[in-house]
């Protein structure tokens, strides 16, 4: 089934994922509009990262995942497989995805995430947590990605950097029409930036605008208990 | 213990230098892939092949090469099926190979050369094959270095960039096996892994980026190889240990100037 080209960029229907005999995701269906920022929330082990892996097609699943034909996915994993202290410069890191990139093209991507060119020769270990997350975002954007899948964008970085990462995603969404799908634990940031929220706890438990979802009874249902962080923000 | 020949002919020196460059380049990625010890263990997989070749009077390098290529395939398959990492699978295969090799090889005099390296002259045929294999390894690492980095950063991310990580993994393991084969005559089964890893470790201490890592690693391997040849000639030492002593010395020197970030 083809996703509606004008509206949906992603359509997921009756998705189930079983890993090592364990049912991780069961019968999940949802859609993502072009240019939307969808955030997936849920407790640890609820299948959020597994859902991402199914979306990028690296694990087997049943059901259907339909991306629009013009989709170019940029994926930012939660963890890298390598040690950041290896002698790899930011330039090596970014060129790994496309070594034909001209310096001007590279600058275009760096400008999108507000990362200075001067960091290019620096080893990865030299970058701060926030700079590194933006470097990951740059790597994901290379190739003119129009969908960004970001697993825990703010894991392991300080609060001002968290804010900058979300601001950057928001700008990409607003200026470039990039569709953004994030996994997050931080409900205060979700409330401010996401257009829609999908609560996951094996099944999709709720879906809707953050203000409809972020109420104590829904969150208790998703997280099981009151083990969640919830702050209200008033927009002026 | 047999003493190696006092002089090395031109063919041996050319092949030694190319082998060192291939080891240094490949070793940089082996180190980044956390295959440091796997490199050492990997070379032992050649042993049963060499033992069988000696038993049937076939060129031992051919026996070692066959064992290593089969070994690389087994590691790749078991790794994929079991989800164990390369180091664990290699560790299992290494001990089993060592046991099989020890049972087969008996008390052959050629065992010492097999274990520690001791070069006799290369035939023109061996030389040509060796040069071709070394060039394939060198060109592969240089040409595919960006893809190798991407697959190291994240396999999932590499797949979204349409990179076939499985194919790359298999190519890497196969070339790793061939690098070990190249070095067997110079360093022997016990020490070849060190020529892959020590130069890479030296480069890891000194380099700031990928290109400098590859260049320093290749140069260190060449220095160790040529230095080892000179040492072994002047002091009548077994070649393999002489090369590794030079490599070890260079590593200690590199610690004096560990890169500061």
ipTM of the complex model: 0.82
Query: CB distance A56–B161 less than 8 Å?
Result: no
- Min distance B239 CA to chain A CA atoms (Å): 31
The answer to whether residue A96 is domain-embedded is: no
Mind telling me how many Å the CA of B44 is from chain A's nearest CA? 27
Return the pLDDT at B120. Answer: 64
A88:B210 CB<8 A: yes
Helices (H) and strands (E) in chain A, counts: 8, 9
Domain assignment present for residue B197? The answer is yes
Count CB neighbours of B16 within 10 A: 26
pLDDT band at B105, cuts 50/70/90? low
What single DSSP character describes residue A125? Answer: G
* Mean per-residue pLDDT over chain B, rounded: 84
Verify whether the Cβ–Cβ distance B152 to A143 is below 8 Å: no
Q: Report whether pLDDT(B81) > 90.
A: no
The CATH number of residue B196's host domain is 1.10.3470.10
pLDDT at B18: 96
Q: Which has more confidence, A4 or B82?
A: B82
- Percent share of chain A, pLDDT over 90: 33
Flag if B157 and A77 touch (Cβ within 8 Å): yes
Ramachandran quadrant class, A37 (left: phi over 0; alpha: psi -120 to 50; beta: rest): beta
The reply to whether A99 falls in a domain is: no
Nearest CA in chain A to B206: A87
Rounded Cα distance between A199 and A51, Å, is 12
Which residues does chain A have within 8 Å of residue B207's beta carbon, measured at their own beta carbons?
87
Is B260 a member of any domain? no
* pLDDT score recorded for residue B258: 66
**Model pLDDT, residue A184:** 85
The total of other beta-carbon atoms located within 10 Å of residue B127's CB is 17
At residue B6, the pLDDT reads: 54
pLDDT digits (tens, 9 = 90+) for A188-234: 777 788 899 998 886 667 787 887 776 777 767 667 655 554 444 44
Please give the structure tokens belonging to residue A221: 């249902």
Residue numbers in A near B150 (CB within 8 A): 96-97
Instruction: State whether residue A93 sits within 8 Å of chain B by CB.
Output: yes
Residue B2 above 70 pLDDT? no
A182 pLDDT band, cuts 50/70/90, is very high
Tens-digit pLDDT profile for residues B201-210? 999 999 999 9
Chain centroid to CA B65: how far? 12
pLDDT of residue A94: 93
User: Measured between CA atoms, how close is A232 to chain B, in angstroms?
Assistant: 34
| Residue A220 forms contact with B (CB below 8 Å) | no
In-domain check, residue B154: yes
Give me the residues paired with residue A183 across strands. Answer: A40, A151
* Interface A-B: count of C-beta contacts within 8 A: 75
Residue of chain B nearest A139, judged by CA positions? B157
Q: Please report which confidence band the pLDDT of residue B119 belongs to, taking 50, 70 and 90 as the band edges.
A: low
Q: Which domain holds residue A29?
A: 8-79+145-223
Number of structural domains in chain A: 1
- The verdict on residue A93 lying in a domain is no
- Which of A75, A81, A99 faces B160 most closely, judged by CB atoms? A75
- The verdict on a CB contact (< 8 Å) between A91 and B209 is yes
Find, in chain A, the residue whose alpha carbon is nearest to that of B216. A87
Higher model confidence: residue B135 or residue B189?
B135
| pLDDT greater than 60 at residue A145 | yes
In a domain, A72, yes or no: yes
For residue A62, being part of any structural domain is answered with yes
Residues 46-65 of A with CB under 8 A from B: 53, 56-58
CATH number at residue A73: 3.40.50.300
Question: Best-predicted range by mean pLDDT among A64-68, A78-82, B124-128, B256-260?
Answer: A64-68
Tell me whether A99 touches chain B (CB under 8 Å): yes
Supply the range of the domain harboring residue B180.
10-255
What's the pLDDT score for residue A1?
Answer: 44
Helix B165-206 / helix B10-32 crossing angle, nearest 10 deg:
100
Ranking A30-34, A117-121, A230-234 by mean pLDDT, the lowest is: A230-234
Which one is predicted more confidently, A5 or B154? B154
Greater confidence (B244 vs A208) lies with B244
Q: How many domains does chain B have?
A: 1
**Residue A135, in any domain of the structure:** no
Instruction: Please say if the pLDDT value at position B124 is more than 80.
Output: yes
- Any residues with CB less than 8 A from the CB of B167 and at least 6 apart, and which? none
| Residue B41 or residue B119, greater confidence | B41
Tallying the residues shown for chain A, one arrives at 236
Mean predicted lDDT score pLDDT of chain A:
83
Contacts of A51 in chain B (CB under 8 A): none
Chain A residues inside the 8 Å CB shell of B159 = 56-58
The minimal CB distance from B146 to the residues A80, A85, A95 is found for: A95
Q: Which residue of A has its CA nearest to B161?
A: A97
Phi, psi at residue B177, to the nearest 5°?
-60, -40
Q: How confident is the model at residue B100 (pLDDT cuts 50, 70, 90)?
A: confident
Is B2 contained in some domain?
Answer: no
Residue A91 lies in a domain: no
Measured between CB atoms, does B203 come within 8 Å of chain A? yes
Instruction: Give the CA dihedral B234, B47, B10, B176, nearest 10 degrees.
Output: -110
Q: What confidence tens digit (pLDDT) does each residue in A47-106 have?
A: 889 999 999 999 999 999 999 999 999 998 887 777 888 899 999 999 998 878 888 888
Query: Chain B residues with CB inside 8 Å of A86's CB?
Result: 32, 204
Task: Give percent of chain B with pLDDT exceeding 70.
Answer: 88
- Asked if A80's CB is within 8 angstroms of B160's CB, the reply is no
User: Which one of A75, A85, A96 makes the best mutation probe of the B interface by having the most chain B beta carbons within 10 Å?
Assistant: A96
The gap from C-alpha B97 to its chain's centroid, in whole angstroms, comes to: 17
Tokens 């060592």 map to which residue? B98
Residue B77: Cβ within 10 Å count: 12
Cβ atoms within 10 Å, residue A216 = 10
Residue A171 to residue B104: CA distance in whole angstroms: 67
Single out the residue of B206, B85, B205, B211 nearest to residue B146, CA to CA: B211
Using pLDDT thresholds of 50, 70 and 90, give the confidence band for residue B238: confident
Banded pLDDT at A112 (limits 50, 70, 90): confident
Residue A184 included in any domain: yes
pLDDT over threshold 60, residue B156: yes
Indicate yes or no: CB of A88 within 8 angstroms of CB of B146: no
């Amino acid at each position: 089934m083809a996703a509606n080209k004008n509206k949906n960029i992603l359509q997921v229907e009756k998705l189930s994922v079983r890993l090592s005999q364990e049912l991780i995701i069961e019968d999940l269906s949802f859609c993502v509009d072009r240019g939307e920022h969808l955030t997936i929330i849920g407790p640890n082990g609820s299948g959020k990262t597994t859902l991402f892996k199914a979306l990028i097609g690296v694990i087997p699943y049943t059901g259907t995942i339909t991306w629009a034909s013009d989709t170019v996915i940029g994926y930012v994993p939660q963890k890298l497989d390598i040690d950041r202290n290896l002698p790899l410069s930011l330039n090596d890191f970014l060129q790994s995805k496309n070594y034909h990139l001209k310096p001007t093209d590279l600058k275009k991507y760096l400008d999108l995430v507000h990362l200075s060119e001067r960091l290019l020769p620096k080893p990865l270990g030299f970058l701060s947590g926030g700079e590194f997350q933006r470097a990951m975002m740059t790597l994901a954007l290379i190739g003119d990605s129009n969908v960004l899948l970001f697993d825990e964008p703010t894991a392991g970085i300080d609060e001002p950097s968290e804010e900058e990462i979300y601001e950057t995603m928001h700008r990409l969404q607003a200026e470039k029409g990039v569709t953004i799908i994030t996994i997050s634990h931080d409900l205060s940031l979700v409330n401010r930036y996401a257009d829609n929220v999908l609560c996951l706890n094996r099944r999709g438990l709720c879906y809707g605008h953050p203000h409809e979802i972020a109420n104590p009874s829904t969150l208790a249902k998703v997280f099981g208990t009151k083990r969640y962080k919830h702050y209200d923000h008033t927009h002026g | 213990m047999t003493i190696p020949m006092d002089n090395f002919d031109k063919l041996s020196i050319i092949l030694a230098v190319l082998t060192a460059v291939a080891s240094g380049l490949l070793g940089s990625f082996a180190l980044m892939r956390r295959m440091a010890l796997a490199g050492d263990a990997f070379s032992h997989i050649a042993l049963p092949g060499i033992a069988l070749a000696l038993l049937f009077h076939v060129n031992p390098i051919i026996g070692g090469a066959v064992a290593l290529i089969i070994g690389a395939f087994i590691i790749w398959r078991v790794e994929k099926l079991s989800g164990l990492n390369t180091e664990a699978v290699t560790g299992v295969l290494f001990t089993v190979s060592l046991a099989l090799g020890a049972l087969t090889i008996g008390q052959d005099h050629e065992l010492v050369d097999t274990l520690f390296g001791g070069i006799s002259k290369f035939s023109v045929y061996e030389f040509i094959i060796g040069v071709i294999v070394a060039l394939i390894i060198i060109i592969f690492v240089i040409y595919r270095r960006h893809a190798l980095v991407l697959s190291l950063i994240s396999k999932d991310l590499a797949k979204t960039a349409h990179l076939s990580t499985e194919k790359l993994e298999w190519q890497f393991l196969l070339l790793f096996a061939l690098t070990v084969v190249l070095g067997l005559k110079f360093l022997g089964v016990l020490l070849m892994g060190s020529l892959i890893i020590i130069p890479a470790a030296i480069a890891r201490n000194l380099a700031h980026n990928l290109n400098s890592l590859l260049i320093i690693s290749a140069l260190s391997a060449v220095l160790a190889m040529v230095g080892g040849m000179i040492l072994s000639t002047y002091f009548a030492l077994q070649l393999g240990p002489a090369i590794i002593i030079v490599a070890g010395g260079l590593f200690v020197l590199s610690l004096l100037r560990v890169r500061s970030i």
